[in-house]
Amino acid sequence: MTEADWIKLTLLCLAGAASPGISWLLILSMSATRGTAVGVSGALGHGLGIMVFALTTVFGLSALLIAMPELTIALTMLGIGLLCYFGYQLVTAGAMPLPEKLTTQGGFFAGFSIAIVNPKVLVFFLAVFGPFVNPEHTLNTQIAMGVLAGGIDATVYIAVALAGAALNNVLEGGRIQMINRLIGILLIASGMWIFTQEISNFL
């Protein structure tokens, strides 16, 4: 790729990571309710998930999903189900649906899982990242594209996790629960909106 292509890809990855969305809400809530270490480990896990998604896109995910559109639907429905589950738990309990004594390893896995099943991530890599994929790129270039996407994402989400920790220090526990319930409502609404969009594609 040319230098201009790398700059474009960097800006697109930064814009994708920095745009508030489902993962933002979950990492923010995770950090606010389970602590900075868990939030940061969740951010690193999310970054790894993005890198995996980027590398699989580079090495043929786009072509696979075009050939098997039902796989795209299955991944999207899995993501919707997880969104609604997280949202329901946040609304009813006012806390992240994760163990109270969550280890940093558990936070890392949770962040990774959020990235893998987030429908927004799937759309981003197919619609935005996909056009930069070229089978003629060298192996080093392909790997560098994945590392770039994951590194930018992890950096942005570490900042989100730190913001969540700061939020916890400023607000009382009751207000944190209210914010979590609001986040839960937004997650459920996002899941329902994505579901209606998928249904409309069949009509």
In a domain? residue 156: yes
pTM more than 0.95: no
Amino acid at 126: L
- Average pLDDT across the chain, whole number: 77
* Residues of the chain where predicted confidence (pLDDT) is lower than 70: 61-72, 75-76, 79, 83, 93-104, 119, 123, 126-128, 130, 135, 168-177, 179-180, 194, 197-198, 200-203
In a domain? residue 7: no
What torsion, rounded to 10 degrees, do the Cα atoms 88, 14, 198, 58 define?
-120
Domain count along the chain = 1
In a domain? residue 6: no
CB 118 within 8 A of CB 47: no
**pLDDT score of 48:** 93
**pLDDT score of 45:** 92
* Residues ≥6 apart with Cβ < 8 Å to 11: none
- 22-34 and 173-202 helices cross at what angle (nearest 10)? 160
In a domain? residue 15: no
Listed in sequence order, the DSSP H helices in 35-126 are 36-56, 62-67, 69-93, 104-117, 119-124
- Nearest Cα to 39, choosing from 23, 22, 20, 19? 23
In a domain? residue 192: yes
Residue 69: Cβ-neighbour burial (10 angstroms; 0-12, 13-18, 19+): exposed
**pLDDT score of 118:** 73
**Terminal CA-CA length for the chain:** 40
In a domain? residue 2: no
In a domain? residue 88: yes
CB 79 within 8 A of CB 118: yes
The helix, strand and coil proportions of the chain, stated in percent and rounded to the nearest 5, come to 85, 0, 15
pLDDT tens digits, one per residue of 45-96: 999 999 988 888 787 765 666 666 666 677 667 767 776 777 777 777 655 5
**Segments forming the whole domain that contains residue 77:** 26-196
In a domain? residue 95: yes
**pLDDT score of 19:** 73
CB 148 within 8 A of CB 13: yes
Q: Residue 185 has which token pair?
A: 């409502």
